[in-house]
Amino acid sequence: MSFADLKKQSTLGSLTDKLVKQVEKLNSGGGSGVDDRFWKPEMDKSGVGSAVIRFLPAPKGEDLPWVQMFSHAFQGPGGWYIENSLTTLGQKDPVSEYNRTLWNSGNEKDKETVRRQKRKLSYYANIYVVRDPAHPENEGRVFLFKFGKKIFDKILNAMQPEFEDETPINPFDFWTGANFKLKLVKKDGYWNYDKSEFAASKPLMEDDDALEAIWEKQHLLQPLVAADQFKSYQDLEKRLKYVIGQKQSARREDPEVMDEETLEERSPELPDNLRDQLNSLSSSRVESSSGGDEDDDDAMSYFQRLVDM
């Protein structure tokens, strides 16, 4: 699709229709350091953060402006299990199958274990940073942004408003979209985006040449959820058995861990080497964390603290 076609579809509203249909479909059914392609908001010492970003259209050669990733992050007697879920690819995943078995046991303790081990859903999209008080050098640049259900629901509500007097918008549109005023506070010790909102609809810029230049700088999204981002079923199953204690003599205990829905919108994707290091830690060496609002946005902060040790 050319840039001219992108603008034409904006005028016709067909892009919004396509995104709404994709949302309905969804609802029915690394390097050694930080990846500098990703942007993340920051909170000041008072526990408040803010920024203004613009969600961007699908990058050249791709149909949708976001991709989704299912993953698991929980602790067991054998250490941490932090892996992408094969269900992202529509394939069977050992954790999902194990959780189904536990849930069907009818044992309330097993159901509680499932709740702690359930998969979390994250989204990835391209953004343009309009304002970043913590890092002004990021303003005017294109980044990848990882976010969770809380922000995705705000996007959905913008496309499908609840009230008749609200005009639907496509937040990913250059011309008819809107800036997203990201407002970050601490709630019960965790990051929370409840106060974030979209501004009034307006073009990101009036100059189409400038918009096309931004479009050209966008990052491809599909590689983030390509097959090479996932381990094989056999490797995941082996890791799962080790974590839950099936291949060691340690007494099986239900680990006290943070509900995965609180892991939705935390720090950027863990580098592969860090994930492996955390996975190698035994539960006796890692203090488990718990609590938090199910939609809090700094849910990998516990793992980030391990990095900073």
Residue 265's pLDDT is what?
Answer: 38
The C-alpha atoms of residue 278 and residue 272 are separated, in whole angstroms, by: 10
Q: Is the pLDDT of residue 249 over 50?
A: no
Q: Helix, strand or coil for residue 185?
A: strand
Please give the residue that has the higher pLDDT: either 91 or 264: 91
The C-alpha atoms of residue 291 and residue 293 are separated, in whole angstroms, by: 7
Instruction: Take residue 29 and report the two structure tokens written for it.
Output: 């059914």
Q: Is the pLDDT of residue 235 over 80?
A: yes
Could you tell me whether strands 79-84 and 48-55 are parallel, antiparallel, or unpaired per DSSP bridges? unpaired
Q: Averaged over 223-232, what is the pLDDT?
A: 96
Banded pLDDT at 8 (limits 50, 70, 90): confident
The C-alpha atoms of residue 274 and residue 260 are separated, in whole angstroms, by: 19
Banded pLDDT at 19 (limits 50, 70, 90): low
Residue 170's pLDDT is what?
Answer: 96
Q: Averaged over 26-30, what is the pLDDT?
A: 44
Give the domain 3-67+122-225 fold.
Replication Fork Single-Stranded DNA Binding Protein (3.90.198)
Q: In the chain, what are the domain boundaries?
A: 3-67+122-225, 77-119+229-308
Q: Helix, strand or coil for residue 238?
A: helix
Q: Is the pLDDT of residue 23 over 80?
A: no
Residue 79's pLDDT is what?
Answer: 93
Q: Helix, strand or coil for residue 165?
A: coil
What is the rounded average pLDDT for all residues in the chain? Answer: 81
CA 292 from centroid of its chain's CA atoms: 17
Q: Which pTM was predicted? A: 0.73
Q: Averaged over 256-267, what is the pLDDT?
A: 37
